[in-house]
Amino acid sequence: MLTNCVFNIELSSMAQIPGSDQEVLIMDKMTREQWLNSAMDELKTLFKQHGVIAPDLMRASCGFPSKSALSAKNRRIGECWNARASADKHAEIFISPTISDSMRVLDILAHELIHACHPGDGHGKLFKRTATAIGLEGKMTATVAGESFKQWATPVIDRIGVYPHADLIPANAIKKQTTRMLKCVCDQCGYTVRVAGKWLADMGAPHCPDHGEMQTV
């Protein structure tokens, strides 16, 4: 596949081992997209072994899915866009930045690749047949890696390395502080602390280490 060829050219350089005729492949650190597209090539080979041919024109990226998919009731961790939505007719797969575990990323990528292979089927019979064949388990709308998939994926991760990413937490997923913190200041030196109103009511104002009781402002 062309993507794989470009990947090899961009990431690789050839160097001679001193005193040897052998050439060694020196791999620079992958980007997330390079890792995902390399993993997708591995998955295409697995799919082919089970009689499922993936589209040639595909891309995989790390990115948040469509706005509706980020709602509290529908927080997707992967999404596949039909090639018809792309100006250059590529099927586009997005893996949520909230996920960084390599095995989990691989099984999400596999789930979305099945959608690309069977457009219009949703999580129907064709989807289930392919998912089961490659070792995905669980509810078809939320599959996870089964033991056979993990056995296949472990050496793949050994070959391409771990997913070069760290979890991102969306702002709307971060618990907001609801306790009102009151500011207390020493009127002599300016020493400042913030205290929950509950503790002021129960225990009184805090004390400056040098000048005693502080004032609430």
* Per-residue pLDDT at 24 exceeds 70: no
Indicate whether 111 and 211 sit together in one domain.
no
Q: Look at residue 211 in the predicted model and tell me its pLDDT.
A: 83
Indicate whether 191 and 120 sit together in one domain.
no
Half-sphere exposure for 56 (CA within 13 Å, toward CB): 3
Q: Look at residue 199 in the predicted model and tell me its pLDDT.
A: 80
* pLDDT per residue as tens digits for the range 81-98: 988 888 999 999 999 998
Indicate whether 117 and 46 sit together in one domain.
yes
* Per-residue pLDDT at 23 exceeds 60: no
Q: Look at residue 73 in the predicted model and tell me its pLDDT.
A: 56
Indicate whether 168 and 187 sit together in one domain.
no
* % residues pLDDT > 90 (the chain): 51
* Per-residue pLDDT at 70 exceeds 60: no
* Per-residue pLDDT at 40 exceeds 90: yes
**How distant, in Å, are the alpha carbons of 165, 199, 212, 216 from that of 193?**
37, 13, 13, 10
* 11: containing domain: 2-172
Q: What is the mean pLDDT of the chain?
A: 81
Indicate whether 126 and 97 sit together in one domain.
yes
Report which secondary-structure segment, H or E, holds 194: strand 192-196
As given in the structure block, the two tokens for residue 197 are 């109103």
Give dist(CA 211, CA 216) in Å, integer: 15
| Domain tally, the chain | 2
Indicate whether 72 and 168 sit together in one domain.
yes
**How distant, in Å, are the alpha carbons of 12, 181, 214, 215 from that of 208?**
61, 17, 6, 10
The CATH number of residue 110's host domain is 3.30.2010.10
Indicate whether 81 and 24 sit together in one domain.
yes
Is the overall model pTM greater than 0.75, yes or no?
no
Indicate whether 113 and 211 sit together in one domain.
no
Indicate whether 126 and 197 sit together in one domain.
no
